[in-house]
A and B are shown apart, each in its own frame.
Chain A
Amino acid sequence: MTPFDRDLAARLCADRAGLRIDPDKAYLLESRLAPVARREGFGSLGELMQVVRDRGEERLVWAVVEAMAVSESSFFRDPGVFDALAAETLPALVQARGDQPVRIWSAACGTGQEVFSLAMLLEEDPALGERSLEKAQAGLYSQFEVQRGLPARRLLRHFEKRDEMFALSPRVRQMVRWRRVNLTEDLGRMGGFDLILCRHVAGGLTEAARVSVLKSLAGLLDPGGVLVLGRSETLEGVRTALSALAGRPGLFAHPEAVRAAA
Chain B
Amino acid sequence: MNTCLVVDDSRVIRKVARRILEDLGFEVAEASDGLEALAWCSAVMPQAILLDWHMPVMNGIEFLRRLRQEPGGDAPKVVFCSVENDLARIREALDSGADEYIMKPFDGDIVAAKFAYVGLAA
**Chain A interfacial positions (CB closer than 8 Å to B):** 143, 147-149, 151-153, 155-156, 159-161, 164
Number of A-B contacts (CB under 8 A): 35
Can you list, as one digit per residue, whether each of B103-117 has a CB less than 8 Å from chain A (1) or not (0)? 100100110011001
Q: Given contacts A152-B100, A159-B87, A160-B87, is CB(A147)–CB(B94) below 8 Å?
A: no
Interface residue count for B (Cβ, 8 Å)?
Answer: 17
Distance (whole angstroms) from the CB of B18 to the closest CB of chain A = 20
Q: Are B100 and A143 in contact (CB under 8 A)?
A: no
Q: Are A156 and B90 in contact (CB under 8 A)?
A: yes
**Shortest Cβ distance from A75 into B: residue:** B113
**Interface SS majority for chain A:** mixed
Q: Are A153 and B85 in contact (CB under 8 A)?
A: no
Q: Are B85 and A156 in contact (CB under 8 A)?
A: no
Q: Are B100 and A151 in contact (CB under 8 A)?
A: yes
Q: Are B86 and A161 in contact (CB under 8 A)?
A: yes
Complex Cα gap A164–B85 (Å):
9
Distance (whole angstroms) from the CB of A262 to the closest CB of chain B = 30
Q: Are B87 and A155 in contact (CB under 8 A)?
A: yes
Distance (whole angstroms) from the CB of A53 to the closest CB of chain B = 40
For residue A160, which residues in chain B have a CB less than 8 angstroms away from its CB? 87
Complex Cα gap A164–B86 (Å):
9
Which of B90, B106, B109 is close to A155, meaning CB atoms less than 8 Å apart? B90
- Give 5 A-B pairs besides A143-B85, A159-B87, A161-B86 with Cβ atoms closer than 8 angstroms: A147-B106, A151-B100, A152-B100, A156-B91, A160-B87
Complex Cα gap A160–B87 (Å):
7
Distance (whole angstroms) from the CB of B109 to the closest CB of chain A = 7
Complex Cα gap A147–B91 (Å):
15
